[in-house]
Homo-oligomer: A and B are copies of this chain.
Amino acid sequence: MFHYVEENLTPEELAHERDLYTPLTDSVRQLVDATIRTEVDDAEIHAVRREVDALVARLRAKQIPSSFGARIADDGTVRTHGNAVIGMRNPIAIPLDLQTDEDSRVWADFHAGAAYEGPPGLVHGGVSALLLDQVLGTAAAAAGSPGMTGTLSMRYRRGTPLGDLHIEAKLDRTEGIKSYVKGHIADADGVTVEAEGVFILPRWARELIAAEKAHAPKQFE
């Protein structure tokens, strides 16, 4: 179930992948937004749908049989391009361009558009949870204590408006195999959602790291 594929890709090959797939993903992301917001007439909706179906068939002419999974390069870089929050090839990903400070604080400025709506004009509370889970998990990994989510708790202080937002998280402390992480989402007026998470390194990952130190993934996304 936890299948990490090992691939030996050069930096040039990794850069080529980025140049190839990022524009397509961005374009499909625009199509998602336009699908929600369009007011063109019925005939045009039907015509566009037929064109989309044709493009799906072209992309599916050759495809991996299941999900993207995780692929590990020889230098330990983990490519999780299908990841629902940060996957380079996933149009659902908002996306978050995560930065890591010297003190292992992980953060991103990002824009939440029409596809992430819950209450009118506001980010869906579950979308905030989705983003916080990823950023808290990445913060645990950035501090050297990677793990999978054990518990995650959000406190919604007020509605988070769609638009330009900020998210950040930082490891608070570790206890054995548990990493305690805190984070939040904020708009220009301050914090809107606070989160606390406990991340746990599962046995299979501990065994993997013990057995193959050189190939241990740097983080679990």
Contacts and interface: CB of A to CB of B under 8 A. Distances in A.
A20 to B, nearest CB: 6
A143 to B, nearest CB: 18
Interface in A150-197: 150-156, 159, 161-162
B24 A48 contact: yes
Contacts of A67: 36-37, 113-114, 117, 120-121, 162
In this complex, the interface size class of chain A, counting residues with CB under 8 Å from chain B, is 35 or more
A134 B130 contact: no
Copies in the complex: 2
Interface string A122-134: 1011110111111
B162 A156 contact: no
Interface string A17-38: 0001101110110111011111
A52 B27 contact: yes
Contact of A25 (B27, B35, B53, B133): B35
Interface of A: 1-4, 20-21, 23-25, 27-28, 30-32, 34-40, 42, 44-49, 51-53, 55-56, 58-64, 66-70, 80-85, 87, 89-92, 113-122, 124-127, 129-134, 137, 148-156, 159, 161-162, 220-221
Given A30-B56, A129-B129, 13 more contacts: A1-B121, A3-B121, A20-B42, A24-B48, A30-B52, A32-B32, A35-B89, A36-B87, A37-B67, A80-B120, A83-B124, A92-B116, A125-B152
21 contacts: A27-B56, A28-B52, A31-B52, A32-B91, A36-B68, A36-B81, A37-B63, A38-B62, A40-B58, A67-B117, A67-B162, A80-B117, A84-B116, A84-B117, A84-B126, A85-B126, A92-B92, A118-B221, A129-B152, A151-B154, A151-B155
